[in-house]
Amino acid sequence: MAEETIFSKIINGDIPADILYQNDVCICIKDINPQAPTHVLVIPRKPIPRLVDASEEDKALLGHLMLSVGEIAKQLGVEDAFRVVINNGEDAGQTVFHLHLHLLANTKFSEGSLGM
């Protein structure tokens, strides 16, 4: 079995985190090393390592994550300007191998660019 990630430990309550929102499917925590004034992570309880590891049976879960991001953006008051990022794989910058969505806001995103 794959080694438990830091996010599974947070979900299980073994290590603390600033939890902003949670439901049956996912939790939302503040990123420990924020890259924008608002930077939160939306993490499914199910430990899928990378986006590419999700399968047909995860369809509803993936849709749920997207809807949760929108709901969280509204709760944070950033619904008119935010960015969602998923890093898939080490070379794409993924450091925690438990699928998660970054929600970034309250910063000036360069127009027409993904910041690459």
Contact stretch for ligand 5GP (CB under 6 A) within 51-59, 73-81, 89-97, 104-112:
89-97
Q: Give me the sign of the Cα torsion angle 41, 42, 45, 50.
A: negative
Q: Is 96:6 a contact under the CB 8 Å cutoff?
A: yes
Binding mask 36-65 for ligand 5GP (x = CB under 6 A): -----x------------------------
The CA distance from 51 to 62, in Å, is 9
Position among 11, 26, 27, 29 found at the interface with ligand 5GP (CB under 6 A): 29
CA distance 85 to 105: 11
| Residue 100 is a catalytic residue | yes
Hey, which residues are catalytic here? 100
Residues that bind ligand 5GP (CB under 6 A): 6, 17, 29-33, 41, 87, 93-96
